[in-house]
Amino acid sequence: MTTVQKIKEIEDEMNRTQKNKATSYHLGQLKAKLAKLRRELISPTGGGGGGGGLGFDVARTGIATVGFVGFPSVGKSTLMSKLTGTHSEASEIDFTTLTTVPGTLKVHGAPIQVLDLPGIIEGAKDGRGRGRQVIAVARTCHLIFIVLDVLKPLGDKKLIETELEGFGIRLNKKPPNITVRKKDKGGIAITNTVPLTNIDQDEIKAVLSEYKISNADVAIRQAGVTADDLVDVIEGNRVYIPAIYVLNKIDAISIEELDLLYKIPMSVPISSREWMNVDELIEKMWETLNLVRVYTKPRGLAPDYSAPVVLRRGKCSVDDFCNSIHKEIAKQMKYAVVWGASAKHTRGQKVGLDHILEDEDVVHIAKK
């Protein structure tokens, strides 16, 4: 029996099993088994993983990477060509784009790499088509644009989410606040600072048992966690990526239908062909990427606002700023003077390497 068939068999059994106290242990085991089988699909034994493949690996440029994911012929290539000026073959025929096409888009002075990925098909996570390679590239992106055709049923949105979820990508979510600490003896100890509403102790023990964990301290500090969240923590290979739903071809629908589309969370309706509402999409992308622009100020001169140093939120200390310009600067620095949102005074604040910078701060480095 193939891995895909085993997955189908477990999914069918889970659908047949009614959830109650008597079946929670069994369901927990099934969910853990399912996750282990999916892991086999992501990185088959001896197969060298699901990434790569001719035309799929691209050199990374820019401060952040945005990947276009969608079914064939939804307008990804047209949007890519107009955003970046990079030619990506566009046609009404399915599967026109067969490899990853990279391009660069400058937003607020920050170079952002955009990847037009080939159209995925239903069953991609199970190895159909080139889906595994496409989703493997999507796993490495900082933001995913899920491009949908508004003229097709919005059921496509759910199908793409299922494909990406099956490959360990969690969209618009944060890692669950669960810790599993293995120990040598003492059995399973479960502590929770919030009520367990969607998982019980039997289910937790069943999941741990399936992973052959018999001694561990489990701490749950987040309300509403499920057995799937626990599996994600144990597997440890999940990636949490923000996604924007790009609802394309709005030039072909009515105003009433457009109002309904705006109710979909994290979505931006656009028309890539007529270039409608694309500015809003670019602003939403910038806001979601959460980047930090820092301007340099040479001694005795005005700040240079033409070429900001762009850092990622979470890696935006003065040390990160120095290293992004040159590795030696941090070693030679005596102190830095910062003006802007992160400074305590409007006249500037003298800071050290560990000071965290905010967007549009101005920095002067004083050398030893």
Set out the domains of the chain in order of their start, with CATH numbers.
Answer: 3-47+176-235 (no CATH), 64-173+239-289 (3.40.50.300), 292-367 (3.10.20.30)
| Structure confidence at residue 266 (pLDDT) | 93
Structure-token match 């059921």, residue found:
155
Kindly report the number of other CB atoms within 10 A of residue 87's CB atom.
11
Question: What is the average per-residue pLDDT within 351-364?
Answer: 95
Q: When comparing pLDDT for 128 and 75, which is higher?
A: 75
| pTM listed for this prediction | 0.80
Q: Which residues contact 338 (CB under 8 A, 6 or more apart)?
A: 318, 348, 349, 351, 355, 357, 361, 362, 363
| Structure confidence at residue 277 (pLDDT) | 92
| Structure confidence at residue 49 (pLDDT) | 42
Per-residue pLDDT reduced to its tens digit, 214-243: 999 999 999 999 999 999 999 988 999 999
Asked if the model's pLDDT at residue 88 lies above 90, the reply is no
Asked if the model's pLDDT at residue 101 lies above 60, the reply is yes
Q: How confident is the model at residue 83 (pLDDT cuts 50, 70, 90)?
A: confident
**Phi, psi at 107, each rounded to 5°:** -125, 120
Per-residue pLDDT reduced to its tens digit, 146-170: 999 888 767 888 888 988 888 889 9
| Structure confidence at residue 164 (pLDDT) | 87
Q: How confident is the model at residue 87 (pLDDT cuts 50, 70, 90)?
A: low
| Structure confidence at residue 189 (pLDDT) | 94
Question: What is the average per-residue pLDDT within 203-210?
Answer: 92
Asked if the model's pLDDT at residue 48 lies above 50, the reply is no
Asked if the model's pLDDT at residue 2 lies above 90, the reply is no
What number of CA atoms fall less than 13 Å from residue 268's CA on the CB side?
23
Q: How confident is the model at residue 95 (pLDDT cuts 50, 70, 90)?
A: very low
Asked if the model's pLDDT at residue 82 lies above 70, the reply is yes
| Structure confidence at residue 97 (pLDDT) | 45
**Phi, psi at 12, each rounded to 5°:** -60, -40
**Phi, psi at 310, each rounded to 5°:** -100, 125
Q: Are 289 and 108 in contact (CB under 8 A)?
A: no
| Structure confidence at residue 45 (pLDDT) | 45
Per-residue pLDDT reduced to its tens digit, 268-327: 999 988 889 999 999 999 999 999 999 999 988 999 888 899 999 989 999 999 999 998
H or E element: which one contains 189?
strand 188-192
- Alpha helices (runs of H) in the chain, residue ranges in sequence order: 3-16, 24-42, 76-84, 131-138, 155-166, 201-210, 227-235, 255-261, 278-289, 318-325, 327-332
Question: What is the average per-residue pLDDT within 175-202?
Answer: 92
Kindly list the distances between the CA atom of residue 337 and the CA atoms of 137, 305, 325, 344, 347, in Å, as whole numbers in the listed order.
40, 16, 16, 11, 10
- Alpha helices (runs of H) in 45-168, residue ranges in sequence order: 76-84, 131-138, 155-166
Asked if the model's pLDDT at residue 127 lies above 60, the reply is no
| Structure confidence at residue 74 (pLDDT) | 82
Q: How confident is the model at residue 262 (pLDDT cuts 50, 70, 90)?
A: confident
| Structure confidence at residue 260 (pLDDT) | 86
Sign of the dihedral defined by the CA atoms of residues 276, 279, 283, 288, in that order: positive
Q: What is the mean pLDDT of the chain?
A: 85
Q: How confident is the model at residue 93 (pLDDT cuts 50, 70, 90)?
A: very low
Percent of the residues in the chain that have a pLDDT greater than 70, as a whole number: 87
